[in-house]
Structure 1
Amino acid sequence: MKVPFDKGLIRFYARAGAAFLSLWLFGDLVSETETFLPRAINNIWRCLYVILANFILLEYTLPFIRFTWKRILAGIFLIWMHLMFYSFGLYAWRLIGIGLHIYTPLTTFSDVSEGVQDQMSFSIASILFFGITRHMYNYTKLKQAAQQLRIEKQAAELNYLKSQTNPHFLFNTLNNIYSLARIKSDLAPESILRLSQLLRFMLYETSGAYIAIEQELKIISDYIALEKLRYDESLHINFSYNIEDMKQAIPPLLLIPLVENAFKHGVSETRDRPFVDIHLSVNKRQLAFTVKNSTDTFPDKRPVKENIGLSNLRRQLELLYTNYSLTVQQGDSIFTATLQINLASHV
């Protein structure tokens, strides 16, 4: 049997013992004012004994008892032993205190049984008090463990989603460079250079939980510049922003999926007057990000089917924030994605 013996448990019994003693001292202060000081010393002496007795009962004896014949018989014997501890043992502890001139005998007993009965009220009260507080302690520890497990699970899922997003982003960007290489475009080397800069930034700057919003803007700007190399002057791109504080923190690569989606599933499939319109505003911790792009897909009654980038983004938002909204809308030759986040609602 593994004995639950740790520093946290020792602190618990020390605090529980202090609380139990305080309650008993308060009762003596109210009812026995004249003899309060010797009674307080007596109760401190007795409390040392019952703390140890309750520790052995709750941490050793009760966990030892199991529903097997050997354990049940042993448990009955141990319970009987504890009854002796809480009665005759506490009375003997009183006599030891008297012998050491620590305990002041304020009451005279005619025989041992009367003295034992007098000590039992203190013992029974301690069992009830320590039993209830130990149960509350267990409940709190279990709740904290469940909370920690939930946090670790969410962190693992968030890391998994990020690990999906980065290769997905890289794969799409390599496809762009491949299309330039196929036509032997002179822009292919520049595309590779810009991609290497993006990857270097993503590798060394986005590994933490947060980055400054100005860094996220740089990623978006670099990605737009990389995409521009694929298209001629017919593509119109508008990227504007209104940000109160450029140093505000947001999770890295949170906005790029919407920009990437506009090019991969919008502009690349548009034949007539392609465009991408991006606007970001962050004021008073309220983020609003809107991405509009041209599309040749016309609206119908079916809901918009989300790709892996949008699905991952939606799940990341669920794990990161409690107050947000992400909507996508297919209009007449226009696809609109709108993201709103209360940055103060971070989990």
Structure 2
Amino acid sequence: MFYMNSFILNSKRKRVHRMLWHILFWIIYVFFYAFTPIALGEEDSLIKDLQFVLIQLPLKLLATYTLLYFFIPKFILKKKHTIFFVFIIPLAFIIGLGQRALIGYYLYPIYYPEHLAEYGLIYWPKVFYASVETYSVAAAAATIKLLKQWFNTQQLTNSLKQEKLAAELKFLKAQIHPHFLFNTLNNLYALTLKKSSKAPEVVLKLSELLDYMLYECNESKVALDKEINMLENYIALEKIRYGEELSVKFHVDKEVRNFDISPMLLLPLVENSFKHGVSGEIHEKWIEIKLSASNDTLNFTIENSRDSSIRGKKESYTEGIGLKNVIRKLELVYKNKHQIKIDDKGESFKVSLTIDTKES
């Protein structure tokens, strides 16, 4: 009930605002035509000009509002231009004729009797002028209305695009979370099977990661420092799992900690490297991660060892859900402001990512 009342109230408020804008438009029109002769130096013309403007006003209102609410919706917006002109030209002529008849009958005998005597009640050049002048005013009103509609449509389109973007990003994040949790819980499960004393440490780091993912990743951008801390926790968890058989190096330049970044962007790349950097027949298993910055550009590279016997099967590295989500997220958040390069070197696999973080 509350929402219905609120909707009704908003609708009434919009109607009142629209009515006030229409009244303002016609007040400006009346004052413009009434005071222009005075501004041009014609004396004692205000009362006369007001009479001329006001006596023609009803027909101008008729022309304007039939154009706004009938001809434009029925014909112009539906691209029925021929039918529009078939109707509008005779109507313009009739309205021009009506205006000339009104001022010729009521005002010309008072102010221009000699003109009335010479040309009669209906003077066709003036009828044509009245038609053109009337629909010039109507066209001005229609232009304002159409521009407003275009602006509102653009706002709605942009709003829908933003909502679609937010929904897709949320969907991508929802895919990343289970993927990440599945891998981490597998790590914890392996440790508990071994009855490792490191299991409590894993639980603690996992709780910190979950706290970050659930409560701090809802913003469009987060401090890169927080993302780095999350990556460090994740790497620590993986190192606990693999021990000395895996060498991991994580180099971070100090200045990058002042950057902001879309949350959960780098983690899938790190997960991908752990997945492939330790699988297969690899003698020395290693992962090297570098994070640096140059002006407003963030540079992230991650390289891992790989089983050279599966060289040429690059698709096994790129078809995972994590990497696909990263690429899609980059297209959504950093469109035309990023580059990602995937390099298969045979015995190693490298992903290089650059992001222009400068706000446009």
Considering the TM-score relative to the shorter chain, is it more than 0.5? yes
- 1:1-347 mapped onto 2 (5 Å cutoff): 6=15, 33-35=40-42, 38=45, 42=50, 52-53=61-62, 55-62=64-71, 88=98, 107-108=112-113, 110=116, 112-114=121-123, 117=127, 119-244=130-255, 246-269=257-280, 271-298=282-309, 300-305=311-316, 306=318, 307-321=320-334, 322-344=336-358
Count of equivalent residues:
326
Partners of 1:285 and 1:121 lie apart in 2 by 57
Matched residue type, 1:146:
T
CA shift for structure 1 position 336: 0.8
Matched residue type, 2:98:
F
Partners of 1:225 and 1:37 lie apart in 2 by 91
Partners of 1:179 and 1:146 lie apart in 2 by 50
Matched residue type, 1:339:
L
Q: Which structure has more helix as a fraction of its residues? A: 2
Matched residue type, 2:170:
N
Query: How high is the sequence identity, in percent, across the aligned residues?
Result: 29
Partner of 1:70: none
Partners of 1:65 and 1:300 lie apart in 2 by 65
Partners of 2:44 and 2:262 lie apart in 1 by 61
Matched residue type, 1:316:
K
Decide whether aligned partners of structure 1 residues 83 and 224 sit closer, same or farther in structure 2, where only a CA change above 3 A counts.
same
Q: 8 Å contact 2:247–2:286 — kept in the other structure?
A: yes
Structure 2 stretches lacking a partner, 5+ long: 1-10, 76-85
Structure 1 stretches lacking a partner, 5+ long: 67-75, 99-104
Decide whether aligned partners of structure 1 residues 170 and 16 sit closer, same or farther in structure 2, where only a CA change above 3 A counts.
farther
CA shift for structure 1 position 130: 3.5
Q: What RMSD over aligned residues (CA atoms) do the two structures have, in Å? A: 4.2
Partners of 2:356 and 2:276 lie apart in 1 by 28
Partners of 2:56 and 2:234 lie apart in 1 by 70
Q: 8 Å contact 2:339–2:354 — kept in the other structure?
A: yes
Q: 8 Å contact 1:91–1:119 — kept in the other structure?
A: no
Q: Which range is displaced more, 17-26 or 32-41?
A: 17-26
CA shift for structure 1 position 300: 3.8
Decide whether aligned partners of structure 1 residues 57 and 190 sit closer, same or farther in structure 2, where only a CA change above 3 A counts.
same
